[in-house]
Homo-oligomer: A and B are copies of this chain.
Amino acid sequence: MNILIKNTRILTLATEKPEIILGDLGIENGMIVFIGESNASFTAKKIIDGSNALIMPGLINAHTHSSMSLMRNYADDLPFWPWLTEKIWPIEEHLTGEDCYWGAMLSIAEMIRSGITTFADMYFYMDDVAKAVDKTGIRANLSRGLVGGVDEDAKLKEAVEFKEKWHDSSNGRIRVELAPHAPYTCNAALMRRILEKSKVLDTRIHIHLSESKKEVEDSFRIHGKSPVQNLLEQKVFERPTFAVHCVHLSDEDIKILAENNVSVVNNPGSNMKLGNGFAPIQKLLEAGVNVALGTDGSSSNNNLNMFEEMNLAALVNKSIDADTTVVPAYTALKMGTINGAVALGIDQEVGTLEIGKKADLILIDLEKPHFYPRLNLVASLVYSAQASDVKTVICDGKILMENREILVFNEQEVFKKANDCAKRLITEIDSEV
């Protein structure tokens, strides 16, 4: 369907310095065909009034566990290990494919509402997550999380089959990666097998890295080296890799990440909530590392709001570094869009608004008190905006939400089903105690 967005402000994110183009934007066959001046011969079936609005690329949530929305607000303000081992893991033991489907659907509803058009997911029952992505029209890089242990063969087989079944499906909206969970949960033998499969299947690597102080201390104790150094020596970085968290890094670690073109996915909200600290974002940026942003799962956040993450990234690093000039607004916006696309290897298709790119974009309603006075819209998107300012969401040229109404599925049904799944899981856990 041809779509014309008229009389709007277009923040392309395609330029080194912020540039807002006034005019129209046209979409044909899911692609952006003009920006600014309308093509006279272009006829649109759908016209969207963009006055008093701004359009920008859809946000890219470069790390989450969408099905974990079922554990949102289930166990907060607890110490990290009891939270993980006594609350999260027991629930995960009881999860079914249907649970993971409804958990993913709930997360997708929330992500569409907050302007996210692509997410990277690492979890299990990924077939069910892929079905949710297929149905809803959102874009996703999916991977079956791989943890060593008795059933590691079956999991790796499942991951490979998942890739063969779903990669590049749903008009290319679904990509599949391999995801060794973390250096401390995959031993060298398993990691080697995953890397071999990654080469054969031509996938990226999605991995948690240096999230907690304990992980780094354990790594030095066991291997005599940092987790980053460990992955380097295991040749993980010979595959295109996006590494998530990277909170506790030495200067040497940062150098390794930069030299090996590893993308880092910063999750400021989750890192703070789990008491893990603050990633050295400014140092990573200065070293030339591509830094993207993610929400992590909503059981450790507790929402999927990339406007919050962009705001946090811009704010917290200023105080950590005692320097108000670090992570300026435009950098935070890039972290939330094009840098995510680079991390996920889809920057030729999405992440900026350019002619020939896929039409993944969001329309921001500027008729809110916090967007006045109109002095600097780029700053206002990072320092003043809220996820609920997203009015309309287009992904792959299809309208997923219009005027805050989700068009592609029944949201009420999703709320009810996800709630029922969560309540059932907790009843099952409680009956075991």
Contacts and interface: CB of A to CB of B under 8 A. Distances in A.
How many copies of the polypeptide does the oligomer hold?
2
A315 B272 contact: yes
A70 B373 contact: yes
A418 to B, nearest CB: 5
Nearest to A108: B369
Contacts of A276: 319
Contact of A319 (B78, B278, B369, B421): B278
A99 to B, nearest CB: 11
Nearest to A105: B369
Interface string A398-433: 000000000000010011001101110010000000
A370 B110 contact: yes
The size bracket of the interface on A is: 35 or more
Interface in A301-328: 301-305, 308, 311-312, 314-316, 318-319, 321-325, 328
B274 A379 contact: no
Interface stretch (A139-147, A197-205, A347-355, A380-388): A380-388
A383 B273 contact: yes
Q: Is the interface of A mostly helix, strand, loop or mixed?
A: helix
Interface in A208-252: 213
Contacts of A69: 369, 372-373
B80 A324 contact: yes
A357 interface: no
Given A73-B376, A369-B415, A375-B73, A277 B387 contact: no
A73 B370 CA distance: 10
- Closest 7 A/B residue pairs (Cβ): A373-B422, A388-B388, A302-B383, A77-B328, A110-B369, A272-B315, A275-B324
25 contacts: A69-B372, A73-B373, A73-B380, A76-B376, A76-B383, A77-B329, A77-B379, A83-B324, A110-B369, A110-B370, A113-B368, A269-B315, A272-B315, A272-B316, A272-B318, A272-B319, A273-B383, A275-B321, A302-B379, A302-B383, A303-B370, A303-B384, A308-B308, A373-B421, A375-B422
